[in-house]
Structures are given as C-alpha cells and as structure tokens.
Amino acid sequence: MSKLLTVRDLVVQVPARGTRIIDGVNFSLDAGQTLGLVGESGCGKSMTCYAVARALPRGIAQTAGTISLKGIAQKNGRAQQPSVAMIFQDPTSSLNPVHTIGYYLETALYRHQGLKGKDAQLEAMRLLERVGIDRAKNRLRAYPHQFSGGMNQRVMIAHALAARPKLLIADEPTTALDVTTQAQILHLIEELRAETGMALLIVSHDLGVIARLADRAAVMYCGKIVETAPVGDLLERAAHPYARALINCMPTIDPDDLEPPIPIPGTVPLLDNLPAGCYYHPRCSRASDRCTAGFPAPANVGPLHEAACHHPVSA
Ligand SMILES: Nc1ncnc2c1ncn2[C@@H]1O[C@H](COP(=O)(O)OP(=O)(O)O)[C@@H](O)[C@H]1O
Ligand SMILES: [Mg+2]
C-alpha cells in the first residue's frame, strides 16, 4: 500500500509566545485507509488537521517538520498534488449564512472542476442527492438556517466531494449532532470512503466513533502522539496508561457490563506550563522517578503498535 500522507516531526507553534501546540508529531496514512486521531479536548487534534490541510489559523505556524502528500501520476508523467478537503464540527456556523446552498456548492464545483451554469447546477443536485438530501433542486435555493445541523453536515460533505479529494479530513464531524443523526452521518462517510477510495483522517474525542471508522488510531496528549496501533489492538490492549484511561472512561450500553466509566484524575496541563518528563505523569498511577526525567521515545509494544511510555501496560 502506498503512503498518501506522511507527517514527520511536525511542530506547530504560536511564534509570538513560543508555545508548542504540536510537538514532534509523526504519522502516515496509506491511500484509501482511515486513521483516527483521539484525545481529550485541547490536545492538538484540530491543529494537526489544519496543518495537514495547510489552513492553520492566523498567529499559528508550522515551525518544523514536514507534511508530504504523495503526488498522483498524470498522463504526461508529472505528479499532481492530490486534493485535500475538510469538514468541521459545527456545520451550521461553518457555512456562510448569506449564501444559498446552491451558490456554495456551485462555487466549489467551478473552482475544482471548472463547471459553470447548468452543468454546475446539475452536478450540485447530484451531490446533494448522493449525500441523502431529497428534493435537491428546491434545496439549492435554501439558506443554511433553513436546514438542520445534520442536513448542513451533509451539505459540507457534498462540498468536500466537489473537490474530488484523495484525502478527507473530518474534524469531530458528528460531535454537534444528536445520536441518530450522528449514526447516519458516520454511515454516509463510511460509504463515500469506500465508494471513492479516498483516505480519511477522522478526529474525535469519542473512541466509539474511531472504533467504527478507523483502520488505525493515534492517541494524542498535549500535542504529542503517545500511542498508535491498529484500532482493534488499541481497544483491546492499549499500552499507554493514558490510552487505557481514555478507554476506561468510555460509557457502555452493554447490560452485562456493570463497570461504571472511570474518570481520569486531574486535568490536562496548560501548554505554557507542561510538567517535566512525560506530560501525563502527574495523572498517571504507574509513574516513577524516571517519568519526570525525560519524555519517553515511542517504542514497539506489538506489531505496528507503538507507545511512548516508560511503563507500558502489558496485555
Ligand atoms: N488561536 C489560538 N491561539 C493560541 N492557541 C490556540 C489557538 N487555538 C487553539 N489553541 C491551543 O492549541 C491547543 C490545541 O488545540 P486544538 O488543536 O483545537 O485541540 P483539540 O482539537 O484536540 O481539542 C489548545 O491548547 C488550544 O488552547
Ligand atoms: Mg478540535
């Protein structure tokens, strides 16, 4: 399988203050594969996505490392940079309220595929139908406030598809939606991924979402990846105490599982005031003196399974 995306030693900072939001992140994604990024709020999942999409907010910059997207060979032998599209957590506020859905989609179709007029309108209708919005012709004249959150997320997905992406980045795509809509949107993303063969970088603080969609998962804490594994291995034998703790605080609706979720003690430290050594050690029951000395390097704990911990939990 060829690597579509390779991220090496990525550092993202607020240069004015020197704060490191992303601190030496490494991961790669094969064409057509799904990688899930998981971790508590504020650990750098969105910034990783913005960096990959080359859309970091003003005042925040990539200061080290590389992000390479493997070109797609064209007929003339030249490589073309594959397109990347992104969908966000809050679809309604991501859409411009003064433009119709039709304007939004047709502008993207012109930009990415050169379609105009009737051709753009027909393709916009086809995309709306594909993402499960009926009466597409009428809907093109609607504004985002006339749609529910779930429908607006479908519009965002249609907009992403207009770019014919090789990589779709979905940053908490269902967090703002109710559970039934959440299930429908996840199903739609799964279907489209299989249909188009695009790779997917999906971000969620919800391990259930990652478990459902991803082939591999990466667990982030304070701007670093602390564990990566095939998703089943992570859920069954997470080695980093933080990853274990995240799994243990997942609620379950299994009537035979009477264990209540166990909260993680303490809070995520501020990026301006990180503890020495492993950033997780003040909250970790396995921590020793060694954990205050230096940040542990990632090490193999199983096939395609790495954890950055001096005292990994064994299976
Ligand atoms: N505009 C900004 N300026 C400075 N720091 C920011 C800005 N936006 C986010 N951050 C900080 O970057 C860190 C990572 O944020 P983010 O990637 O949004 O986390 P996540 O998506 O995992 O919840 C957080 O600690 C947050 O406070
Ligand atoms: Mg986020």
Q: Is the dihedral of CA 40, 268, 5, 164 positive or negative?
A: positive
Residue 202: pLDDT above 80? yes
What percent of the chain clears pLDDT 90, i.e. is strictly above it? 78
Residue 71: pLDDT above 80? no
Indicate if 303 and 226 belong to the same structural domain.
yes
Q: Which atom of ligand 1 is nearest to the CA of 203?
A: 21
Average confidence (pLDDT) over 222-242: 96
Residue 115 in contact with ligand 1 by CB distance below 6 A = no
Residue 48 pLDDT class (50, 70, 90 cuts): very high
Average confidence (pLDDT) over 99-117: 95
Lowest mean pLDDT among 26-30, 81-85, 236-240: 81-85
Indicate if 229 and 117 belong to the same structural domain.
no
Indicate if 197 and 49 belong to the same structural domain.
yes
Indicate if 134 and 43 belong to the same structural domain.
no
Residue 1: pLDDT above 80? no
Q: Quick check: is 209 in a domain?
A: yes
Expressed in angstroms and rounded, the spacing between residue 215 Cα and the centre of ligand 1 is 26
In this predicted structure, what is the pLDDT of residue 157? 95
Indicate if 61 and 93 belong to the same structural domain.
no
Contacts of 193 (CB under 8 A, 6+ apart): 32, 34, 168, 200, 213
Q: How many CA atoms lie within 13 A of 58 on its CB side?
A: 0
In this predicted structure, what is the pLDDT of residue 155? 95
Indicate if 66 and 92 belong to the same structural domain.
no
Indicate if 198 and 313 belong to the same structural domain.
yes
Expressed in angstroms and rounded, the spacing between residue 176 Cα and the centre of ligand 2 is 12
Indicate if 217 and 307 belong to the same structural domain.
yes
Expressed in angstroms and rounded, the spacing between residue 14 Cα and the centre of ligand 1 is 10
The domain of 3 spans 1-71+189-315
Domain's final residue, options 118, 149, 165: 165
User: How many helices (H) and strands (E) would you count in the chain?
Assistant: 11, 13
Residues with CB under 5 A from ligand 2 (ion): 46
Q: Quick check: is 265 in a domain?
A: yes
Q: Quick check: is 231 in a domain?
A: yes
The string of pLDDT tens digits covering residues 235-266 is 999 999 999 999 988 776 667 766 777 888 88
In this predicted structure, what is the pLDDT of residue 76? 65
Residue 104 pLDDT class (50, 70, 90 cuts): very high
CATH code for position 278: 3.40.50.300
Residue 46 in contact with ligand 1 by CB distance below 6 A = yes
The string of pLDDT tens digits covering residues 142-179 is 999 999 999 999 999 999 999 999 999 999 999 888 88
Q: Which atom of ligand 1 is nearest to the CA of 271?
A: 25
Average confidence (pLDDT) over 289-295: 92
Residue 25 in contact with ligand 1 by CB distance below 6 A = no
Task: Please check whether residue 45 is in contact with residue 39, taking contact to mean a CB–CB distance below 8 angstroms.
Answer: yes
Lowest mean pLDDT among 45-49, 135-139, 245-249: 245-249
Residue 90: pLDDT above 90? no
Q: Where are the alpha helices (H) located in 238-280, listed in sequence order?
A: 241-248
Indicate if 214 and 293 belong to the same structural domain.
yes
In this predicted structure, what is the pLDDT of residue 141? 96
Residue 38 in contact with ligand 1 by CB distance below 6 A = no
Indicate if 276 and 210 belong to the same structural domain.
yes
Task: Count structural domains, the chain.
Answer: 2
In this predicted structure, what is the pLDDT of residue 187? 94
Give the mean pLDDT of the chain: 91
Indicate if 116 and 51 belong to the same structural domain.
no
Dihedral class, residue 164 (left if φ above 0, else alpha if ψ from -120 to 50, else beta): left
Indicate if 258 and 125 belong to the same structural domain.
no
Provide φ and ψ at 289, rounded to 5°.
-60, -35
Q: Quick check: is 170 in a domain?
A: no
Q: Quick check: is 147 in a domain?
A: yes
- Residue from 13, 22, 47, 225 to probe ligand 1 pocket by mutation (most atoms less than 8 Å from CB): 47
